[in-house]
A and B are shown apart, each in its own frame.
Chain A
Amino acid sequence: MFDLKGYGPDLAEGAVVTIELAFLSLALAITLGLLGASAKLSGSRTLTAIATTYTTLIRGVPDLVMMLLFYYGGQVAVNALSDYLWETREIDFFFQFDPFISGVVTIGLIFGAYMTETFRGAFLAVDVGQIEAAKAYGFSRWHTFRRVMIPQMMRHALPGIGNNWQVLLKTTALVSIIGLNDMVRVAEVAAKAERMPFHFFIPVAAVYLGLTAGSELFIKWLDKRANVGVVQGN
């Protein structure tokens, strides 16, 4: 029915790359978000300042600019390091800074900043009495964090995580600009070669739509599960 002119397997592979990229970035973003939120709530002035600078800077700069900076800048930095190591220590060290790593790092860093805000709000929503109770039971700080804070704040964080995930998923399209062979890039190459833009971009758009629609359902289900213990008004 839909003739992809032999680009079908490439597009499918590209879709897998997009999904891998999205999940790895999400993992990095959640880690950074938890760290950032903990830093902001730690009460230490230095840690708060570092986390605030991080979220402010990241949220003020376009994702594409960050990506170009990390991709091109990362390579220059690796080259410089490589030259330095060779000249001083005679160590042969080199690696090609590839678009996939740059993409994961950039998207993870950007959404880590948004997740920081999400988690900060969610941590603040946990009742202080819960933390006091944990203390009274002799829980250590780490134990309190893992056993009391995390399970209870997730309920509040889920809608925020869901929104961030939806935006993150669409941001992955940008990595095609720095040359990653994700489905957007495959479609672009194919559309140019075959002079059929609608033919290749519309299926890719449909895949994105399917991913966002599927995630929406999944997040709704998770949200329902996370809220089973809560009696809701009306």
Chain B
Amino acid sequence: MEVHDKYSARRTVGILAVVCVVLQMALSTQISIGGGTVNFMLILTGTVALLSGSRAGCVAGFLAGTLYDFTMPVPAGLMMLILSVTGFILGSGERNRLAEQLDVSLKLFAIACCAVNLVYAIALLLIGTQSDILTAIFGHGVASILLDVIFALPFFYVLARADLGQGFARRPNSLRTANAKRGGAKRYRKLH
């Protein structure tokens, strides 16, 4: 059963990665509202980190950041660094948090979006790509944060539901024990 869950988890992450990469390549450059753009690579990193933990989040962040940096006209290496750290920090809490605490996951992701966009704007300022911190943060950053969170909602919702239905990854031992006990009690009632 655990083996099945593991493969199911990998398949889900694979599908998620493909969807996010396609959206990043095809639509991210087309959608610009209020000076902000959607970063599907940040959504991918956040989702993987909240589903699979810090190690997977860190790896996903690095790979997603690499793709972002090498497909957009931006300073290469910057988003790699930021997303690697973001994936690690987001995933460092409870494993599979997305399925069990959707509201907490969303709040954490929103905070991560704020941090990523803020750090990115400041880094661009230090590199010299930007010259006005207020425009960088409030002109572009706020709109980008909102777009990132809005576009992440369907991903989070679908993955949380899919996970609850199939058992995405390893559940905490306490949950499995509780389920086993519940099953045992049912069997006991049937027999008697």
Chains A and B come from one and the same complex: no
Residues of A in contact with B (beta carbons under 8 Å apart): none
